[in-house]
Amino acid sequence: MDLVNPSRLEDISSDLVNKFLSELGPRQYSNDDLMRFTSNFLESNKIGFGGYGDVYKGQFPNGVLIAVKVLQKKDVVEDTFMAEVGTIGNALHRNLVKLYGYCFEHNIKALVYEYMENGSLDKILYENHHSSIEWVKLYGIVIGIANGLNYLHDGLEEQIIHYDIKASNILLDKNFTAKITDFGLAKLINRDVSVPLTRIRGTVGYNAPETWMPGSRVTFKCDVYSFGLMLFEVLGKRSNGMEENWLPELIWKQFKSGKLEHFIKDCGIAEKDKENANILCKVALWCVQFRPELRPSMKDVVLMLEKKLLVEQPPNPFMTFQISTPQVDLEQSHKENIERESSDSLELDPIPTYPQYTIASPSYASVADGKRHLKAYSLAHLLETIHIDNMKILRGLIYAHDDILPLYNGSTKKRVNLEVLRKKNVLLLISDLDIPYEEFTILYQMYSELRPKSSYEVVWLPVVDRSIPWTDEKQKQFERLQFMMPWYSVHHPSLLDPEVIDIKLVSKFATKTMLVMLDPQGRVVNQNAVHMMCIWGSFASPFTIMREEALWEEETWTLQLLVDGIDPNILNWIGENKLICLYGGENIDWIRKFTLAARAVSAAIRTPIEMVYVGKSNPGERVRKNNTIISAEKLSHFWPDLTSIWFFWVRLESMWNSKMQLGKTVENDPIVQEIMTMLSFDGIEEGWAVISKGSAEMTKAKGKTILTSFTDIEQWKELVEPKGFVNALTEYLHQLHT
């Protein structure tokens, strides 16, 4: 039963609701009953407010204390009411708040809970008069919350995702037993199923990344993320974001540098409690991993907190995509892009030898129709002018409108002046408000890798078309992205002048996210560095066109170029000089036939072939189902994380865009032909395959052709020993074409 489907609730009657609720167990109360219990909702009895309404203290005739939540938001009241009663009514656990009953009448909808004498956890953590609470008691509270969440996720017939785990939604009884409340956002889903979000749920600052990134899918792991953030608050006894340093990032830095014990001591935690505090820190770092699949289940969280399961060393929670890149000497790389941080001299820096690029295209004259476009033309001219530093350029791009603090620092959560960017390498992230989740992960990791080592800064310039009304929902979406981004962003999207939009529209990448590289003097040294990042990761630093050209000169068309940083197993097979086959497509019948034929080929040549299914770009439900079938039938290896499949194809597309940006063609660059062929495979439903021996020897073919060649193995297997498998297969494929 779908308890929260709004389409079923629009015309629902009180009688049907009452019939539904009567089957769940909680008792029905009238408005008159609630008036008696709360002394006519006396203002002095108001003890707070939940996600959807005011909460009053009351008392049953037998003396039992209660809390009455009166739901007031008319646009969501039925949705909320059904969700909360449906979930709590069937969920019985010592760490979940108990629902005594409900009232569903025309003039009032309310829920009646057990009363929690010690209030909510946030008051315990943040109010000074509670500062002396014993750490052992806090640790017990944490374990109780974990047990309650584990029950919601794994103790019921239908899994419950809370979506809004935070300290204010944890109530404490007279014995400080933790009880999870405020199920107004909960949604029942089938186990092991991820669901797309139709609206953002939860509280900004506690949301897992996948709950607010466009196109993402969520599982119970979003609750694990929120729980991890709450653990940091328990440790530091302060709210995330209320101080200059964001707690998760601060604790990770302390942990990474081996100074975690110093931080624990600064939090006032006694020597006898340091072991538990250390465990809590590591568990929290596991819980807030950016990638959901790296987060533990709540069952494992309980075992780790209870010291029944070893807590491994957590990886960097802010590493969003595992891109393996060679080490690079950043100091040497920066010789291409000299920065004179310490000098305020008016002497101009030497003009570099690398090509100059502007965001605007030379075709600006064709759109210069009016003041708006003339202003854009002026800005384009400004970008081509040599300056002492980058401030004039940045002031032109970031329209401050007399605001002396036009930037928002995503790391400290504070507003700052443009001066923080003076004479620094600045990457301008130009996009709309719908940055794809996977694209964001790549940018996030690049920033995490480069920021501690260099003077690079990233500034997000959201492109907003002023001809479209700026709604509250857009403002919230902007603020969510702004809060989650660790780099700088403009503080108000309204500060953007229309010419920034014009610049983006005139560029070749109008519908894509752009990452424009400005050197310390404000010169555009790469029109779009996104492509380099997708291909070479942080090794692409310092992201100039000259660097991009140099990297391509060192490359040859190899399997390693396609999979580096995506699948370490394939890199190991390349090192072992194994036969490797990457194949894709959506037709499961072809996949079954091809993998069966590949096994026959492997047996015929007495050599294993490592098969890996890589799906297609924009992997959807069919690719997900194919992965399930491939796994169940043990057909081959596959990438269970669809982000890996997405990145494989994005890297190919990035190679194409990079080559086009450098002016390469099929006629003057052989790699362009290879890229074009691979991208053409993506539209073939029946399949395709790339076969490689190690990294250098490669051949490829469409699905029907490669299946025929594998089926005909007896006709060409004698060529394998003298010529090698890849060369023998290539020769036979040529025969099939002629």
Which residues are annotated as part of the binding site for ATP? 69
> Are the CB atoms for 587 and 686 separated by under 8 Å?
yes
Coil, strand or helix: which one is 704?
helix
DSSP letters along 543-568, please? --HHHHHHHHHH----HHHHHTTT-H
Instruction: Name the residue among 418, 419, 359, 351 with its Cα closest to residue 386.
Output: 351
CA 383 – CA 380 distance, rounded (Å) = 5
Between 135-154 and 298-305, two packed helices, what is the crossing angle to 10 degrees? 150
| Residue type at position 55 | V
**Residue 48: what are its φ and ψ, rounded to 5°?**
155, -165
**Residue 243: what are its φ and ψ, rounded to 5°?**
-115, 175
Element holding 703 (H helix, E strand): helix 703-711
CA 462 – CA 490 distance, rounded (Å) = 8
Catalytic pick among 164, 182, 564, 567: 164
Using a 10 angstrom Cβ sphere, with 0-12 exposed, 13-18 middle and 19 or more buried, the burial of residue 531 is buried
Q: Give how far Cα 298 sits from Cα of 157, 265, 275, 395, 635, Å.
A: 17, 27, 21, 48, 32
Before 542, cis peptide (omega within 30)?
Answer: yes
Coil, strand or helix: which one is 692?
strand
- Whether 164 is catalytic is yes
Q: Do strands 99-105 and 187-189 pair parallel, antiparallel, or not at all (unpaired)?
A: unpaired
CA 155 – CA 723 distance, rounded (Å) = 60
Instruction: Name the residue among 136, 116, 138, 115 with its Cα closest to residue 125.
Output: 138
DSSP letters along 494-540, please? GG--HHHHHHHHHSTTTTS-EEEEE-TT--EEES-THHHHHHHGGGG
HSE, CB side, 13 Å, CA atoms: give it for residue 131: 7
Q: Is the dihedral of CA 491, 496, 500, 505 positive or negative?
A: positive
Q: Give how far Cα 477 sits from Cα of 338, 459, 485, Å.
A: 38, 17, 12
Coil, strand or helix: which one is 627?
helix
Instruction: Name the residue among 177, 173, 179, 167 with its Cα closest to residue 121.
Output: 167
Task: List, by residue number, the catalytic residues.
Answer: 164
